[in-house]
A = this chain, B = another copy of it.
Amino acid sequence: MIDLPRKTLFDLPDGVIYLDGNSLGPLPRGAASRAAQVITDEWGRSLIRAWNSAGWMDLPARVGDRIAALIGAQPGSVATGDTLSVKVFQALDAALKMRPDRRVILSDAGNFPSDLYMAQGLARSLGQEHELRTPAPQDVADAITEDVAAVMLTHVDYRTGRLHDMADITARAHAAGAVMIWDLAHSAGAVPLEIGAVAPEFAVGCTYKFLNGGPGSPAFIHVRPDIVEDIAPVLAGWMGHAAPFAMEPGYRPAPATERMRVGTPPVVQLSLLDAALDVWDGVSMEVVRAAALRLSDLFIAEVEARCPDLALASPRDGAARGSQVSFRFPGGYAAIQALIDRGVIGDFRQPDIMRFGITPLYLDADDIRAAAAAIGEVIGSGAWHDPKYQIRARVT
């Protein structure tokens, strides 16, 4: 087993403490050279032949198996490609078709908006026969009634870091006859997961956060092996066909989870992700989790000692929290800009959330203390009042 942090495996800029790996993970050292190899050697030299000679065709499944290992799912149960929003759509359409007599999609008000939007778009396309219910996160468990077709939740709340009890909610969903879909955007690479044992029908996630796959890295979808063969995918693309190069006029789904593939895979981004996953070799997710909780508790204590105006937005109990710590502060947007100016990178979420990702692969206690000191300085000195920090960028 390997000790943390593993800073040498990342290409981190000098003078930066990076607390935004929950939004975009940093560059793993091997990734750039792998991309160069794929572009210059595989594409450049082998051209079309690389689909076979460089294994491009099987790359999505190989990367899927590596992700399966990180989320506690069995090999062959994870397909990669597309964006997380598209994978949410695939899972939700399949779930609704599994429960044709039910009309409710249950999510929560803390879910990432794109998941809700995709549900709205699907319901609209299907004729508005489905109702999307979004109670408060803490009320979801009791809202799983027998009219619910699908429970669709993000495991870790993107604003507060609040963690749903995945096993309990999944069991309740199944007891009520509902299909369970978990979005692992803020869980994969952050907390130990036992998707195989918990046994939701679907789990989806992105790979550019805690999995460090780079900007726009492809998404993944897990389908429970006992149900996958019954799914007729809505996005019936040729790469999910049983024989893509037979060029048959009719769609026949590929075996198992391969049917959730859609179009031509993004080979360069998938290769970057493949290289990025190397940083997990020999790493125990339990060790990561324990370190994240130690660092998070330290961060909360250090910030609260300095900044009485910041209100903890995340659960104080580490067991109820993912791998991020959020504070509410009315000047949060400007304070985050002032911190970025000082090399401490977190991010801001509407309406007043200062959000900090805690990633023990490349952060240690000294980083956490230095970050907290910078927060104390920015808030205590009033530096965030500087007009230059009030200008909103397009991406916040």
A residues adjacent to B (C-beta < 8 A)? 11, 13, 16, 18, 20, 23-24, 26-27, 31-32, 35-36, 39-40, 43-45, 47-52, 56-58, 81-86, 89, 93, 97, 109, 112-114, 116-118, 120-122, 124-127, 134, 206, 208, 214-219, 232-239, 241, 245-251, 262-270, 272, 340, 345, 347, 349-350, 393-396
Among candidates B39, B232, B235, B340, residue contacting A49 with C-beta atoms closer than 8 Å: B340
Check B216–A264 contact: CB distance below 8 A.
yes
Interface centre among A13, A18, A27, A241 (most CB of B within 10 A): A27
Among candidates B56, B118, B218, residue contacting A215 with C-beta atoms closer than 8 Å: B56
Check A83–B237 contact: CB distance below 8 A.
yes
Check B117–A97 contact: CB distance below 8 A.
no
Check A216–B266 contact: CB distance below 8 A.
yes
Separation of A32 and B396 alpha carbons in the complex (Å):
30
Check B117–A241 contact: CB distance below 8 A.
yes
A250, chain B: closest CB distance, angstroms: 7
8 contacts between A and B (CB under 8 A): A24-B43, A31-B39, A35-B36, A86-B262, A120-B250, A121-B251, A125-B125, A215-B268
Report chain B residues within 8 Å CB of A58. 394
Check A234–B121 contact: CB distance below 8 A.
yes
Report chain B residues within 8 Å CB of A395. 51-52, 57, 245
Check A118–B216 contact: CB distance below 8 A.
no
Report chain B residues within 8 Å CB of A127. 126
Check B396–A245 contact: CB distance below 8 A.
yes
Interface centre among A11, A93, A233, A249 (most CB of B within 10 A): A249
Closest to A13 in B: B45
Check B35–A47 contact: CB distance below 8 A.
no
- Contact (A218, B266) CB under 8 Å given A13-B44, A47-B18: yes
- Contact (A26, B50) CB under 8 Å given A84-B263, A350-B246: no
Report chain B residues within 8 Å CB of A116. 249-251
Check B394–A52 contact: CB distance below 8 A.
yes
Report chain B residues within 8 Å CB of A263. 82-86, 114, 219
Separation of A325 and B349 alpha carbons in the complex (Å):
54
Check A11–B35 contact: CB distance below 8 A.
no
- Contact (A124, B234) CB under 8 Å given A43-B215, A216-B266, A216-B270: yes
Report chain B residues within 8 Å CB of A251. 116-117, 120-121
Among candidates B27, B36, B57, B208, residue contacting A264 with C-beta atoms closer than 8 Å: B208
Separation of A216 and B217 alpha carbons in the complex (Å):
12
Separation of A268 and B215 alpha carbons in the complex (Å):
7
Separation of A23 and B56 alpha carbons in the complex (Å):
14
Report chain B residues within 8 Å CB of A217. 266
